[in-house]
Amino acid sequence: MVPVRLIAWLSGNWGDKKGCLRDMTGDSPDFHALPGATPENSAFIDLHFDPSVSPLLNMTVPFTINGRQFRLSPGQSTKIAVPPGLAQVVLAPNFGRLFYDSMPRLDFVVHTGQTVPVFYRYSTFRRNPGSLTFQKLEGRSPSEQRTIDEMKYIVVVALGMVVAALAISFALSLWS
């Protein structure tokens, strides 16, 4: 994957000073400005990777914001300047996540000067890519809770089948 070239805003002044702006890749934890965002006309996305549940080996997770991809590590946060209007944050598929039916995604509208916090929490459940939310999650994410509920139903059905098989077996033994 080729990193996206972004402009970092290292001070409150975007002026023409070469020391205030520098070129950086999407892997940097610093402040990012996406194309179309200007000092006078930009909104902000604060993206946080919740460290309470982290992937094995502290791998980085790829995200796409308005079509630009970069990575975050567990516990890392970054502030992204975006142009006002429709914003899109999507967890990008990587090697271990190629076969999910859908990836977490947030579509929302931002206005000039507005800051929107976005939180990502990894899931240790198989076939669960994690959650993107506007608030930090306490406890299980909705997708993790659905997975647990599905497992409960499977266990109840399996136990019901075992009880039915035992009842039929017992009835047949009494009949003969």
Q: Return the beta strands (E) in the chain as ranges.
A: 5-9, 21-25, 32-33, 43-49, 61-65, 68-72, 77-82, 85-91, 105-110, 115-121, 131-133
Of 149 and 160, the one with more pLDDT: 160
How many C-beta atoms lie closer than 10 Å to residue 3's C-beta? 14
Of 58 and 172, the one with more pLDDT: 172
**CA 17, 22, 23, 29 torsion-angle sign:** negative
d(Cα 148, Cα 20) in Å, to the nearest integer?
A: 49
d(Cα 114, Cα 74) in Å, to the nearest integer?
A: 25
pLDDT digits (tens, 9 = 90+) for 63-80: 899 988 888 888 888 899
Residue (of 73, 70, 36, 34) closest to 54 by Cα position: 73
Asked if residues 88 and 105 have their Cβ atoms less than 8 Å apart, the reply is: yes
Helical segments of the chain, H only: 142-175
Q: Are strands 131-133 and 115-121 parallel, antiparallel or unpaired?
A: antiparallel
Of 85 and 19, the one with more pLDDT: 85
Q: What is the CATH number of domain 5-139?
A: 2.60.40
How many C-beta atoms lie closer than 10 Å to residue 9's C-beta? 21
Domain spans in the chain, listed from the N-terminal domain onward = 5-139, 140-176
Asked if residues 89 and 20 have their Cβ atoms less than 8 Å apart, the reply is: no
pLDDT digits (tens, 9 = 90+) for 15-67: 333 333 333 334 445 678 888 888 888 999 999 988 887 777 767 888 899 98
pLDDT of residue 4: 32
